[in-house]
Structure 1
Amino acid sequence: MSNTPHLDAASARGRAFLGTRHAIMAGAMTWVSERNLVSAISNAGGFGVIACGSMPPAILEAEIIATRALTDKPFGVNLITLHPMMEELIDICGRQGVTHVVLAGGLPSGAAIARIKGFGAKLMCFAPTAALAKKLVRSGVDAIVIEGSEAGGHIGPVSLTVLAQEILPVITDVPVFVAGGIGRGNAIAAYLEMGASGVQLGTRFAASTESVAHDKFKAAFVRASARDALSSVQVDPRLPVIPVRALKNAGSEAFNTRQREVAAAVDRGEMDLAAGQLAIEHYWAGALRRAVVDGDIDTGSLMAGQSVGMVTSVQPVAEIIAELTSEAEAAIARRAVPATPVTPATLSDVAA
């Protein structure tokens, strides 16, 4: 018998869509969201998502196979729309029977959508505005993820609080999952009551026991507060870059230095603007690997959301999910109890 009946009812649409015990997705984090963490989240009743990132097709296929060896529960694959081998990656997902594909990094092409839908997978896409969410739904996308600027890694300019108010009331044909800054179960309850079908978390899972991230990386999360997770600064308007939220360290300043170096190279005619933007973006891939894999917490990139202040210890994934769902159940149950009507008599009692 379920011990979270109120939460189950509130998240029924999301749970049915994901095929999971709980409507809690994991954010796809490069170098972190691999077989061990993904399988642990799915085995604990959540929905793990492999971060393909810049993986070549053969590596992605090996990761899917390895993940399936560790769990028989549903999980998804996150693909970046700008990947140069996008078609091949989609075909790998089809050949391996991936049930859910999450597309990130820009609007997907009609061909990519058709290719994914063609092998029967459910397609999820990120939408930064209500207008784009509507366009994606018309294009055949099966679910939407809205992610606020509180999130870690690459972020948009608008907070989840605002996005939820703008998008949840108008996107009702498909499930909508919300992400960014979520670290407690009462926040999950609040967004479900606003109309979300489920949630996505990254930061708390990045610091879990099963995460392969370096111990120093996790320890930095435990020490950090919300205000330590800062958004990167754009140095040159000619070289627009998507802001990245990470814990402040020497690597943050190094990124600013890198931007100035690239701008100078553009001025000297050594590279064009497109190549300059690519060079700046490549900074994050190397810096993130140094932090996650090598434990370089000084010059590496400690990508983290503002919910990092709620990471107070390194916990097993199952414990994190149990904590979140227990808190959410309690919050929804409290609100389900009918309030005592306020009458002149009760007001006089209070005054007395």
Structure 2
Amino acid sequence: MTRLDDLSARGREFLGSRHAIMAGAMTWVSERNLVSAISNAGGFGVIACGSMTPALLDGEIAATKALTDKPFGVNLITLHPQMMELIAVCARHRVSHIVLAGGLPSGAAIEAIKAAGAKLMCFAPTAALAKKLVRSGVDAIVIEGSEAGGHIGPVSLGVLAQEILPVIRDVPVFVAGGIGRGAAIAAWLEMGASGVQLGTRFAASSESVAHANFKKAFFRASARDAVASVQLDARLPVIPVRALKNAGTEAFTAKQREIAEQVDRGDLDLAAGQLAIEHYWAGALRRAVVDGDIENGSVMAGQSVGMVTKEQGVAEIIDELVAEAEAALDTRVAGPVRLVTAA
């Protein structure tokens, strides 16, 4: 057993995969082809349910099972109006892991997932919430830093890990946000993480169904191009979204201003205004991922995008990450390299 295997043993056992490398659930991207490819390559794929209906999720899970006999998970959004039906779909398919995102899950949802025999994973933005989730029966925690792509919190992974890893020991903790190299994986495992979650590198893989223009935007981008959205009006709360800076970024700012003016005039109430903003993001992401409109769509990407320079197959990406992690750990076991100067 390698040192990497030793450090990741808890995460690998929990996921049931060869490597403790989870894939982030990305709407329009994390579907049957990418999910099955990641699981087949020794990682752990996760279907992004997003706003799918129970019927659509049922078909997606069945199609994924036809492509892999390895474990994979399903990501559900806690605010989905048909949450209990979606959990029932997962139960019928005996999905082994369910990842809940987007808010604190209800007791009923947790109970239904546990009753189905699935392992439950939840995102925790603070140590206090992580402890609460563990007490409520959650089987593993994911902590995601602001470096990640898509909807993000305000705190970096470096800070979250220092706050949460030392105090959450009862269940596995997976870390996410800005991870693009195997050396970083090794460092987080040494710090106490059970495994990692990556999204950006997989989004631009060969097996990703994202439009070629979407992937090319990743290859050209640097870390500084992946910026977080700005909230203009306190009445219209916006969960920040990290995406590549483009005309769509500016359009979102204009959209917020337009909606705020409609609220001021009484043309929209606050709830309708907030919903309009969420609909904007859903449509903007689809334009980029599916239609390839990378100027006006939302090209969601994490700050690790600067490390994505070419299209690679999922197996190649995972093998590369593992080799880099093992090399980094071997170097640390051997001790620091010392420079010798001539006398």
Q: Could you state the TM-score of these two structures normalised by the residue count of structure 1? A: 0.95
Matched residue of 2:147: which SS?
A: coil
* 2:199 matched residue in structure 1: 202
Matched residue of 1:117: which SS?
A: helix
* 1:333 matched residue in structure 2: 330
Q: Give 5+ residue unaligned stretches, structure 1.
A: 341-345
1:263 paired with 2:246, answer no
Distance 1:105 1:154 in 2: 9
How big is each residue's C-alpha offset from its partner over 1:326-345, in whole Å with a ceiling of 9 and x where there is no partner?
000111121122569xxxxx
Distance 2:134 2:279 in 1: 32
Distance 1:274 1:196 in 2: 39
1:147 paired with 2:144, answer yes
* 2:232 matched residue in structure 1: 235
1:244 paired with 2:244, answer no
Matched residue of 2:5: which SS?
A: helix
Distance 1:128 1:336 in 2: 33
How big is each residue's C-alpha offset from its partner over 1:198-228, in whole Å with a ceiling of 9 and x where there is no partner?
0000000000000000000000000000000
Q: How does 1:96-115 map to 2 (within 5 A)?
A: 96-115=93-112
* 1:69 matched residue in structure 2: 66
1:58 paired with 2:46, answer no
Of residues 148, 169, 174 in structure 2, which corresponds to 1:172? 169
Paired residue total: 343
* 1:13 matched residue in structure 2: 10
Q: What is the CA-CA distance between 1:351 and the residue it aligns to?
A: 9.3
Distance 1:350 1:48 in 2: 49
Distance 2:342 2:164 in 1: 42
Aligned residue type for 2:86: L
* 2:75 matched residue in structure 1: 78
Matched residue of 1:318: which SS?
A: helix
Matched residue of 2:331: which SS?
A: helix
* 1:27 matched residue in structure 2: 24
1:300 paired with 2:303, answer no
Aligned residue type for 1:147: E
Of residues 76, 87, 90 in structure 1, which corresponds to 2:87? 90
* 1:211 matched residue in structure 2: 208
Aligned residue type for 1:136: L
How big is each residue's C-alpha offset from its partner over 1:232-260, in whole Å with a ceiling of 9 and x where there is no partner?
01111111110000000000001001101
Aligned residue type for 1:296: D
* 1:158 matched residue in structure 2: 155
Aligned residue type for 2:198: L
Question: Aligned-pair RMSD on alpha carbons?
Answer: 1.4
Matched residue of 2:36: which SS?
A: helix
Structure 1 runs of 4+ with >6 Å offset? none
Q: Could you state the TM-score of these two structures normalised by the residue count of structure 2? A: 0.98
* 1:343 matched residue in structure 2: none
Q: What is the CA-CA distance between 1:320 and the residue it aligns to?
A: 0.3
How big is each residue's C-alpha offset from its partner over 1:69-104, in whole Å with a ceiling of 9 and x where there is no partner?
000000000000000000000000000100000000
Aligned residue type for 2:329: I
Aligned residue type for 1:103: L
The change in CA–CA distance for 1:339 and 1:264 in structure 2 (over 3 A counts) is closer
1:223 paired with 2:235, answer no
Q: What is the CA-CA distance between 1:350 and the residue it aligns to?
A: 6.6
Aligned residue type for 2:93: Q
Matched residue of 2:175: which SS?
A: strand
How big is each residue's C-alpha offset from its partner over 1:40-87, in whole Å with a ceiling of 9 and x where there is no partner?
000000000000000000000000000000000000000000000000
Matched residue of 2:26: which SS?
A: coil
Aligned residue type for 2:88: D
